Amino acid sequence: MSNEGYLPLETGFATLAIHAHQSPDQWNSGAVVTPIFTAATYKLDGSDHSTGFQYGRWGNPTRNNLEGCLAAIENGKHALTFATGCAATWSMLSILKNGDHLLCAFDVYGGTLHLMKMVAEEKGIDLEFFDAGNLNEFEKLLKPNTRMVWFEITTNPMCKVVDAKRLAEISHKRPGVLVVTDNTFMSPYFLKPLNLGVDIVMHSMSKYLNGHSDVIMGLLVLNDDNVHIKLRDIQHHGGAVPGPFDCYLALRGLKTLAIRMKQHMANGIQLANHLKKNPRIEQVFHPGEKLIKIDHHIN
């Protein structure tokens, strides 16, 4: 879905998060907020008046607007939303087959680890863990049958920062390897992994993207058309899609993402510096002020 000329060619992050794929003229109503479309079925008459929608599991106008906005702020071509972050992860793993080699950083979200072990056992996937902080050793783990590398750019919960660009470059020395990263902790406001050579970006939207602790949702963003077709098919037939009201809430949350992330970072640095001075605190885990510049221009 295009922006229909609504946004200027040069648009800043905050403006994209508020307006991308949400033209007031889209529904012939002038509404500046995307409506909640609760329809499960749509009129099919084969004429030029057809909306292009068929069934709620296959597509929903509110969800489509959300996915278009998310693709825009991650600088990606395709975005797919899911009922949960784990559903997004499961869908990504579903493109692997028996005998494929999956490399996963060991310092990732516990739910991801559990899901990967479960899927690997059921499908006969060769699952191996690696230290994302030691990329020289990581390169030695790549095999001819390696099909996917999974890591978190800022790990959960230790906040270790991974050199995503170098990891992607090493991984792509092997043909057919998909590099997937969980960008939940950074959000696209601070980092866009697709710009660094990562193939697919995953988010738990329940955290920063929605931002109000009232939505459970997952996200995948990518540029590859062929992989997108596979994932969209899994999304359609797997059925783990978010409801229109949750999509509406997520669109609402995105409108304040830029200003929230800037304040989150400022607050986090202040708290980290305060804790460092406390003699009862042995170690503070924080990515550091030098890593992320918080003087973004808010459009």
CB atoms within 10 A of CB 68: 17
What are the distances in angstroms from CA 35 to CA 30, 38, 246?
A: 11, 9, 12
What are the distances in angstroms from CA 256 to CA 20, 150, 155, 276?
A: 14, 29, 24, 30
Residue that the structure tokens 């991308």 belong to: 20
Whether the ω angle into residue 279 lies within 30 degrees of 0, i.e. cis, is no
Task: In whole angstroms, give the CA distance from residue 42 to residue 51.
Answer: 8
Helices (H), the chain: 13-19, 61-73, 85-93, 110-123, 135-141, 164-171, 187-190, 225-238, 244-254, 257-276
Task: In whole angstroms, give the CA distance from residue 192 to residue 27.
Answer: 31
Strand 78-82 versus strand 218-222 pairing type: antiparallel
Task: In whole angstroms, give the CA distance from residue 298 to residue 289.
Answer: 19
On whether the CB atoms of residues 146 and 173 are closer than 8 A, the answer is: no
DSSP assignments along 64-126, one per residue: HHHHHHHHHHTT-SEEEEESSHHHHHHHHHTT--TT-EEEEESSS-HHHHHHHHHHHHHHT-E
Tell me the residue type at 56: G
DSSP assignments along 209-224, one per residue: TT-SS----EEEEE--
Residues taking part in catalysis: 57, 109, 182, 207
